[in-house]
Structure 1
Amino acid sequence: MPIELPLDDEEASTDVDLKTQLIRFVMTGAGSAVLDYGLTMVLQYVVGAPFAVAKAGGFILGTTVAYLINRRWTFRAEPSAARFVAVLLLYATTFAVNVGLYAWLSVLWPETWLYSAAAFVVAQGVATVINFVVQRVVIFKIR
């Protein structure tokens, strides 16, 4: 097996129950969302990047970290080129949903830190639900 994040000592397998997957997914997502949100706010309010560019940067950082942890720890799946391509397609979809919703709400609502935080939560929430369902049902399907 290639070098991986040392999240546990057990061999990867797909026999993880729904409750465990959901708890791990939420934990991983929370950490990744902090990275995403932090970079989004820095790019938007410190660097002055447009809404979509700021959110895109945060999304790329957050989803990269989330994928690496979720593949190995949450869904305990072996590396796979086909799975990686499927994840890229899923992330392209959730990227469009996440960044699109954030940019739309950022234009619709006044540009303040509070409204940016609310737009982030809405966009992140919708993308997270899509992400979990597709990863569990399709990409990291339990036997």
Structure 2
Amino acid sequence: MKTQGFRFIISGLVSAVVDWGFTALTQFLFGFSAGKARLVGFIFGTITAYAINRRWTFQADHSWKRLIYVAILYTITGWLNMTLYAWGFHLLEPSVPRLAASIGAFVFAQGIATVLNFFAQRMFIFKA
């Protein structure tokens, strides 16, 4: 589990770069709205995470069923992530600078979503 956890974190970092890269590219270069750009980034980041986690983290064969399960899982945890971010930002904003509130809320929300994603994938989607 330790190796899978480490690989999951590395996969998450790579996927976050892809996610943010597509978000920024579509928003600032192609003029998408922030919401639409975020959706594009989320989709590409999720596909990247699935591909890396399937092959490297969990070493599983391709399966359309798994892909659908991961898409459902990431949709749920994506919603949870955005909800926790908004809640955390709202909670922190009155007492700390806005940038600190944003970073704190992001780390809190992403941390919870990442832990849930790891255990759901390890226990259900990519179980041996």
The equivalent position to 1:69 in structure 2, one of 45, 49, 52, is 52
State the Cα RMSD in Å.
2.8
Q: How does 1:56-135 map to 2 (within 5 A)?
A: 56=39, 58-110=41-93, 112-135=98-121
State TM-score, norm by structure 1: 0.68
Q: Which amino acid aligns with 1:88?
A: A
Deviates more, 1:70-79 or 1:107-116: 107-116
Gaps of 5+ in 1: 1-17
Identity %: 48
Distance 2:67 2:9 in 1: 21
Relative to total residues, which structure has the larger helix share, 1 or 2?
A: 2
CA deviation string 1:42-72 (max 9, x = no partner): 96xxx8847xx77655543432321121111
Q: Distance in 2 between matches of 1:128 and 1:112?
A: 24
Tell me, what secondary structure is at the counterpart of 1:141? Answer: coil
Give the structure, 1 or 2, with the largest relative contact order (CA under 8 Å, sep 6 or more).
1
In the alignment of these two chains, the number of paired residues is 120
Counterparts in 2 of 1:39 and 1:99: CA distance versus 1, 3 Å: farther
**Higher mean displacement: 89-98 or 59-68:** 59-68
